[in-house]
Structures are given as structure tokens and as C-alpha cells.
């Protein structure tokens, strides 16, 4: 007899890389397919994506991939889907538009068909699964949760959400539909836990617009406004302020420009035709009549705002008295360091910067706080509770809320990556774990950067490299002359010249004692000797790279 499995392949303890599998017999549906962001020690890594091994092994069972909303940690891994996983993708209109735009950048990317559903009226059937989407509020428009009917009962999957009764897009959380769907009982609820540690309710997005207006009204020069490119609601607020205060708007940065265009074409962003102008048109206007909506809110090197801050943008520059507004929090791992550096550079240029540390409430979370979580629990009233999309501490706080509302502790599961929650005869347990690993994307390479490569990069970053040139008489098996050691990021060559020359002579003395050397033996002896020598002499462990030239 079949049972229902909910497999958290990723998106459990690290906030990002959201990907969940619902499996019953020969049918699988996947909810979300997001990327993660590299930690600071992942040198040269661009993205982290879920481990698709289990899905590749069960590709024939996959009936659909459902995407809940338009943030990268829920849809960003779609371009990296292996060709075996060719199931159709389902999303709301705006989310589908963003996915199609993303796939346009990957000529060799997947060819999965993208289908649009309407959360107001559509119900979707995939094998034994019947899925009813319902609208939720989040920091990006057109987000949904899912009621999933299975042979074991109805489950609710509610990723990032909050209860915002006055959202910028005018489409609040569809509480009436959720309550109606939950009225027949709920076996389980898998829901966003990242706000579980924050007290009260999460504030409405609508309050931000007046704060932006106050800042822009007082600006005497150019205004640069930055937020994440998918935050169409925040862009709409900035446009409203610009229109009210008589400023023209220029979209700057490829991601901002493209997403704004998609949102406008699909009807999610509207503004008078003469409000947005080109850079060429803006150049003819007084500085105090321009607002730039610019990419780079996370301080990404190479982004438009980053290049403005370091004085390397092709068209734009800042002057004393200009205003820069950050309407975002540096949430992804590693982004705080980058954005702090951009803020510091701007302040040093005598620019008025409004940013996350100033407590001006220019950004509100898209995640429900403690009281939002309580409200969701009260509406759904599930038997089993499953926190998703947060860290261990967020899951623990979520569990505490559920227990305070009467849930038995044994009915709350805090899954780790790969954990299988199995439902059978209305009961549930963690029945096993699928082995998953981090898959790293480095440039065009997917999964070809492993722990050994990262360790080498860490050594190079912290300790530097010592390159050793060795000339070997291939036929006599002897060293021809004294080795030469070249330092990069290890010791300054002029200052350390005597130290390196002494190491080369000692190495030569060690090598000449051996008869009939070959290249492999010479490399091994060189690495072993110099690693010990460097550590004993100065306490450093650079990467030693012997280069043997056979003559």
C-alpha cells in the first residue's frame, strides 16, 4: 500500500534553495526550485543550487513543478534543471513572466513548458494530487500558497507570506478562500517560519511610501532609489513619490529595467507614459527633477549602484548633496559586507545615504511575524506542523508557537535537508533521509567545484602560493640547477628574498641525496619539504606548486 511522502530536499535550515517534493505511488509534484547564495568562504562560487539527484532518478514520476512566488530562492534554480526533469512548470502570470525572462539568458537551459494558473479560480490535477492555489501577501506580488489533496488527506503548503490587509498591489491574503479550504480539516501544514522569532504582526508595505516621500521631498539634488529587482510593489511606491514630487524616473541596471518592463507589460506596474524617461532625456533635466531606480541594493560588485559608488559608471555619478535610498535589508549570506562597503563609499563622497542601520523603516519584512504565524495556525488548524524556509532557530520558534496553541510536540516536525516525512493512515513520522549535497555553480560550471577545490581556494586566499621551478635531467634523473621559488600572496619577494633563497638551497641539498629522480618523485619531495620549512620558519602554510621542466 502506498504512503504519502513529503521530502524536504533543501530549504530547511538555510533559508534559501527552497525545493520540496510530494510523492505518492507513481506521482510526484515539486513545489519551488530556488537557488542559494554562497557563503563568504566559497571563493569564486556564484550560486548554490539544490541537489537534483533524487528528482533525476524519479523523473518519470514528476507530474509538475509548482512555483509559489517570484523570489530567486524559490525559482532561481529552474535554469539548472537537468534535461531529464522535463515536467511542466506552473506559476501565476507575473511569476511565469519572470521565469521566461530568466530562461532567455540560458540558451542551453531546460525546455520545460511554462503554464499560467489563476489563483482566484483554478484547480490543478496531477495524477493523484489535486492542487488548489490561493493568494497570499508577500513582498513581491502574485504569490500563492497551495492546498494539496492527496489520498491521505489535505495538506497546505504556504511558503513566504504575511497578512497584509493593505498591500501595494491591492490584493491581500485570500483569507476567505483559505478558511473555506481548511474547513474540511487539514492533515498537515508546511509553512514559512522565518518570522517566528519576531514579535507581533509584520507591518504593511503601504506605510513605506510616506517615508520615502519625506526623504525625497527634502532632497536638493539627484535621488538614487534601490531595492531588489523583483520588488515590484516597492518600485510602484517610488514611482508614485516621483510623480507626486515632479521628478522623472530612469530605470538603471539590467535586472531592474527588465523586471519593470515585464511587470508593466503584464499589468502589475502602471504609470503615465511620460514619467519614465531615458538617460539621454534625463541629462537635459535639472538634477533636482530626476530619480534613478537603480539595481545593486545588495552591494553586488559590478551592479549599477556599485559602479556609481566607485566612480566607474559609464553615464552616472554622484555629487555632494545627492540622496541614495536603500529600501531593502541585506539578507542573503555575504551581502552585508558588500552593501556596507557601498554605503561607506557613498558617505565618503558626501552623499546623503538612507540605509538599513538608520531605523527609518524603509523596508518591512515579507515574512509573517509571531502573530501572523498564530493566525495561520488558527485558520488551518492542522494535525501536523512542518516549518519551512528558515534556520534551526526559526524552526524552533515556530514549534514553540504551535505548542503554545495546543499542538503536541510529537506532531511537529523540524526537517533537515533530505528528510522524508511519511504519512500513512492519518499518522506521520520521519521515516528516513535522502543523501543530498550542496551543488555549486561557478561561472558556466555546475557541480564541478567540490570541497577540494574550495579548500584550495581558501588556502590561496589566506596563505598565498609558492611556485617552485625545477629543472630535471630526464635521462640522468638529476636536478640540473638550484630550484627557484616564486611567491604570490605569501611573502613579499624583495623582503623575503633571502628566506626563499635559503629554502631553495636547503631543498636542493635534500634532493641531490636521491638517485634517479623522476618528475612525480621530485614534485612530492618538493611539496613535503617546503610545507614543513615554511611552517617551521614563519608559521605559514602556502599552497606549494612544484613545476618540473624536464630537459
In a domain, 450, yes or no: no
Residues 159 and 36 in one domain: yes
Do residues 441 and 297 share a domain?
A: no
Q: Classify residue 258: in a domain, yes or no.
A: yes
Regarding whether 317 and 181 lie in a shared domain, the answer is no
Handedness of CA 358, 360, 366, 372 (dihedral sign): positive
**Enclosing domain of residue 331:** 205-358
Are 169 and 79 found together in one domain? yes
Q: Is residue 268 in some structural domain?
A: yes
The predicted pLDDT at position 450 comes to: 44
- Same-domain pairing of 384 and 481: no
* Chosen domain end from 299, 331, 358: 358
Q: How many helices (H) and strands (E) does the chain have?
A: 15, 26
Indicate if 230 and 351 belong to the same structural domain.
Answer: yes
Question: Is position 112 within any domain?
Answer: yes
Q: Does one domain contain both 19 and 113?
A: yes
Question: In whole angstroms, what is the distance from residue 318 CA to residue 88 CA?
Answer: 46
Quote the number of domains for the chain: 3
pLDDT at res. 516: 79
**Residue whose C-alpha cell is 619539504:** 529
Radius of gyration of the chain measured on its C-alpha atoms: 28
Residue 106 lies in a domain: yes
CATH number, domain containing residue 140 = 3.60.15.10
Q: 387, exposed or middle or buried, with CB in 10 Å at 0-12, 13-18, 19+? A: buried
Instruction: Please say whether the beta carbons of 411 and 418 come within 8 A.
Output: no
Which three cell numbers, joined as nine digits, stand for 319?
555629487
Q: How far is residue 91's CA from residue 32's CA, in Å, rounded to a whole number?
A: 10
Buried b (16+ CB within 10 A) or exposed e, 431-464: eeebebebbbbbeeebeebeeebbeebebbeeeb
Q: What is the pLDDT of residue 519?
A: 83
Helix runs in 302-444, H state only: 304-309, 335-348, 370-380, 392-404
Q: Verify that 34 and 113 share a domain, yes or no.
A: yes
Per-residue pLDDT at 39: 54
pLDDT for position 191: 97
Say whether both 92 and 225 belong to one domain.
no
What pLDDT, on a 0 to 100 scale, did the predictor assign at position 451? 45
Q: What's residue 43's pLDDT? A: 45
Residue 440 lies in a domain: yes
Residue 197 sits in the same domain as residue 209 = no
Q: Is residue 459 part of a domain?
A: no
Residues 169 and 31 in one domain: yes
pLDDT for 513 equals 81
Among 333, 358, 383, which residue terminates a domain?
Answer: 358
For cell 504575511, the residue is 162
Quote the cell numbers at residue 232: 515590484
Instruction: Kindly report the CATH number assigned to the domain that includes residue 499.
Output: 3.10.20.580
Residues β-bridged to residue 125: 130
In terms of domains, do 477 and 490 share one?
yes
From 312, 332, 358, the end of a domain falls on: 358
What local confidence, expressed as pLDDT, does residue 388 receive?
Answer: 96
Burial of 473-510, coded b for 16+ CB within 10 Å and e otherwise, reads: eeeeeebeebbebebeebbeeeebeebbeebbeebeee
Burial class, 93, CB count within 10 angstroms (exposed 0-12 / middle 13-18 / buried 19+):
middle
CATH, residue 328? 3.40.50.10710
Domain membership flag for residue 452: no
CB 421 within 8 A of CB 428: yes
Nearest to 230 by CA among 114, 75, 106: 75
User: Can you give the pLDDT at residue 157?
Assistant: 98
Question: Taking a C-beta distance cutoff of 8 angstroms, is the pair 427, 440 a contact?
Answer: no
> Which residues of the chain are under the pLDDT cut of 70?
1, 37-46, 330-334, 357-360, 440-463, 489-497
Per the document, the length of the chain is 551
Amino acid at each position: 500500500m502506498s504512503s504519502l511522502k513529503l521530502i524536504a530536499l533543501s530549504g530547511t535550515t538555510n533559508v534559501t534553495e527552497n525545493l520540496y517534493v510530494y510523492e505518492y505511488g507513481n506521482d510526484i509534484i515539486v513545489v519551488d526550485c530556488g537557488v542559494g547564495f554562497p557563503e563568504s568562504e566559497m571563493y569564486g562560487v556564484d550560486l548554490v543550487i539544490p541537489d537534483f539527484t533524487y528528482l533525476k532518478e524519479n523523473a518519470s514520476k514528476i507530474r509538475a513543478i509548482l512555483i509559489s512566488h517570484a523570489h530567486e530562492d524559490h525559482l532561481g534554480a529552474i535554469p539548472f534543471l537537468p534535461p531529464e526533469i522535463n515536467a511542466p512548470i506552473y506559476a501565476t502570470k507575473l511569476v511565469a513572466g519572470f521565469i521566461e525572462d530568466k530562461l532567455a539568458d540560458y540558451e542551453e537551459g531546460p525546455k520545460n513548458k511554462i503554464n499560467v494558473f489563476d489563483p482566484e479560480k483554478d484547480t490543478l490535477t496531477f495524477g493523484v494530487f489535486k492542487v488548489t492555489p490561493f493568494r497570499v501577501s508577500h513582498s513581491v506580488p502574485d504569490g500563492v500558497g497551495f492546498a494539496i489533496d492527496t489520498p491521505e488527506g489535505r495538506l497546505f503548503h504556504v511558503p513566504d507570506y504575511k497578512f497584509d490587509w493593505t498591500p501595494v498591489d491591492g490584493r491581500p491574503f485570500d483569507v476567505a478562500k483559505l478558511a473555506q479550504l481548511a474547513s474540511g480539516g487539514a492533515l498537515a501544514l508546511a509553512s514559512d517560519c522565518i518570522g517566528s522569532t519576531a514579535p507581533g504582526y509584520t507591518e504593511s508595505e503601504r506605510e513605506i511610501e510616506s517615508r520615502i516621500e519625506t526623504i525625497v521631498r527634502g532632497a536638493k539634488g539627484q535621488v538614487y532609489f534601490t531595492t531588489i529587482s523583483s520588488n515590484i510593489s516597492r518600485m510602484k511606491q517610488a514611482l508614485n513619490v516621483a510623480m507626486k514630487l515632479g521628478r522623472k524616473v530612469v530605470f538603471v541596471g539590467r535586472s531592474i529595467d527588465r523586471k519593470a518592463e515585464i511587470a508593466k507589460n503584464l499589468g502589475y506596474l502602471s504609470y503615465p507614459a511620460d514619467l519614465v524617461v531615458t538617460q539621454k532625456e534625463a541629462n537635459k533635466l535639472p538634477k533636482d527633477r530626476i530619480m534613478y531606480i537603480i539595481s545593486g541594493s545588495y552591494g553586488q560588485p559590478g551592479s549599477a549602484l556599485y559602479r556609481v559608488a566607485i566612480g566607474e559608471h559609464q553615464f552616472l555619478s554622484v555629487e555632494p548633496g545627492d540622496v541614495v535610498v536603500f529600501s531593502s535589508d541585506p539578507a542573503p549570506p555575504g551581502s552585508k559586507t558588500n552593501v556596507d562597503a557601498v554605503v561607506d563609499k557613498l558617505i565618503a563622497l558626501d552623499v546623503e545615504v538612507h540605509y538599513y542601520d538608520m531605523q527609518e523603516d524603509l523596508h518591512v519584512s515579507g515574512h509573517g511575524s509571531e502573530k501572523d504565524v498564530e493566525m495561520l495556525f488558527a485558520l488551518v488548524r492542522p494535525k501536523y506542523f512542518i516549518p519551512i524556509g528558515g534556520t534551526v532557530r526559526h524552526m524552533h520558534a515556530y514549534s514553540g508557537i504551535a505548542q503554545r496553541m495546543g499542538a503536541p510536540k510529537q506532531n511537529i516536525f523540524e526537517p533537515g535537508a533530505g528528510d522524508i516525512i511519511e504519512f500513512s493512515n492519518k499518522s506521520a513520522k520521519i521515516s528516513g533521509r535522502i543523501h543530498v549535497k550542496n551543488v555549486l555553480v561557478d561561472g558556466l560550471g555546475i557541480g564541478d567545484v567540490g570541497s577540494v577545490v574550495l579548500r584550495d581556494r581558501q588556502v590561496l586566499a589566506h596563505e598565498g602560493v609558492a611556485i617552485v621551478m625545477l629543472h630535471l635531467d630526464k635521462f640522468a634523473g638529476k636536478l640540473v640547477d638550484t630550484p627557484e621559488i616564486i611567491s604570490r600572496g605569501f611573502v613579499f619577494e624583495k623582503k623575503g628574498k633571502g628566506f626563499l633563497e635559503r629554502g631553495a638551497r636547503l631543498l636542493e641539498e635534500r634532493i641531490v641525496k636521491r638517485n634517479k629522480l623522476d618528475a612525480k618523485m621530485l614534485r612530492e619531495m618538493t611539496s613535503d619539504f617546503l610545507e614543513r620549512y615554511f611552517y617551521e620558519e614563519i608559521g605559514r602554510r602556502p599552497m606549494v606548486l612544484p613545476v618540473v621542466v624536464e630537459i
